[in-house]
Structure 1
Amino acid sequence: MVALDSLAPKVGALAALLLASIVFVPAVVISAPGSGVAEYYAAGPIGVSIVGVLALIDVVVFLAGGQERSDPVTLAGFALVAGLAMLLFSLLWAFSIDATLLFSFPAEYAWIQDHRWVVVTGTAIVAVAAGGFARGVMY
């Protein structure tokens, strides 16, 4: 059986990398001027870009902790705090987006209406992996 302290950082790094990619997909795919992408990212009190940045940092944290390049207990704690913060930030952002903004995108970008929930799900996966990593290195 694979130990939690060795599997969780790998899952967490992969999940965080996928999360960062998912967060920034609209900025890459929707390039039409005046399309509302900037407003979409800035919705709510802090926006969603912070989630993508923290996810990229968490990739490094998970990999460094999993390979014991630095203190795994400290890195697991950081990954857990960052994962929970990303979850809270993404929920705050997802519930703050104005429906008028979501439905203002052209029909070809209708997937953006579900994008926020995919981001929230991704942050939950990263947070669970971080919790598993923390549990694995503590016990």
Structure 2
Amino acid sequence: MDAERLAPTVGIVGALLLALTIAIPAVTVEAGDGQVAAYYAAGPVGISFVGMLALLETVVFLSGRQERTDPATAAGLAFVLSLSMLGVAALWSFSIDPTLLFSFDQQYSWLTYHRWSVVAAAFVTFVGGAWYARGVL
């Protein structure tokens, strides 16, 4: 098993999954009064920034995997970014106000589980980043 090829692939899949998971409510939920914006901004930091970092993480994994940058530098950056995204996603998911979470219409009840899927996708990215860093460093 080639960890220097498979680990970044796991990280890429996790990062793209994370960015997609974060974007789903913005695309699918039709709520008024800024509910979706409040959902994304909940907690001390909000989650939108993690979606942007996930796309950046994809570029980092790809550049390290294709050796367009030093693999050790890419692995270290991928690890730090994935750890940061996991931390922010966990902080965000635990700090969402339940009143906000349950204020959406009944058809959007899946949002109560959305935050955990964001954390799960961030964890997959973290596993890819840690595995890549361990394999390269």
How high is the TM-score relative to the length of structure 1?
0.95
Instruction: Indicate the larger mover: 127-136 or 27-36.
Output: 27-36
Partner of 2:130: 131
Aligned residues: 137
Partner of 2:15: 16
Conservation of the 8 A alpha-carbon contact between 2:31 and 2:104: no
Q: Residue type of the partner of 1:100?
A: T
Conservation of the 8 A alpha-carbon contact between 2:89 and 2:122: yes
Q: What are the within-5 Å matches in structure 2 for residues 107-126 of structure 1?
A: 107-126=106-125
Conservation of the 8 A alpha-carbon contact between 1:58 and 1:82: yes
Q: Residue type of the partner of 1:22?
A: T
Q: CA deviation at 1:36?
A: 0.7
Partner of 2:51: 52
Q: CA deviation at 1:34?
A: 1.9
Q: CA deviation at 1:3?
A: 1.1
Structure 2: runs of 5+ lacking an equivalent: none
Q: CA deviation at 1:30?
A: 1.1
Q: CA deviation at 1:50?
A: 1.2
Partner of 1:94: 93
- Give the distance between the partners of 1:40 and 1:116, measured in 2 at CA: 10
Structure 1: runs of 5+ lacking an equivalent: none
Q: CA deviation at 1:5?
A: 1.1
Q: Among the aligned pairs, what percent are the same residue?
A: 52
Q: What are the within-5 Å matches in structure 2 for residues 2-81 of structure 1?
A: 2-34=1-33, 36-81=35-80
- Give the distance between the partners of 2:71 and 2:90, measured in 1 at CA: 28
Conservation of the 8 A alpha-carbon contact between 1:23 and 1:48: yes
Deviating runs (4+, > 6 A) in structure 1? none
Q: Residue type of the partner of 2:93?
A: A
Partner of 1:83: 82
How high is the TM-score relative to the length of structure 2?
0.97
Conservation of the 8 A alpha-carbon contact between 1:54 and 1:86: yes
- Give the distance between the partners of 2:17 and 2:92, measured in 1 at CA: 19
Q: Residue type of the partner of 2:120?
A: T
Conservation of the 8 A alpha-carbon contact between 1:35 and 1:105: no
Q: Residue type of the partner of 1:13?
A: I
Instruction: Indicate the larger mover: 23-32 or 56-65.
Output: 23-32
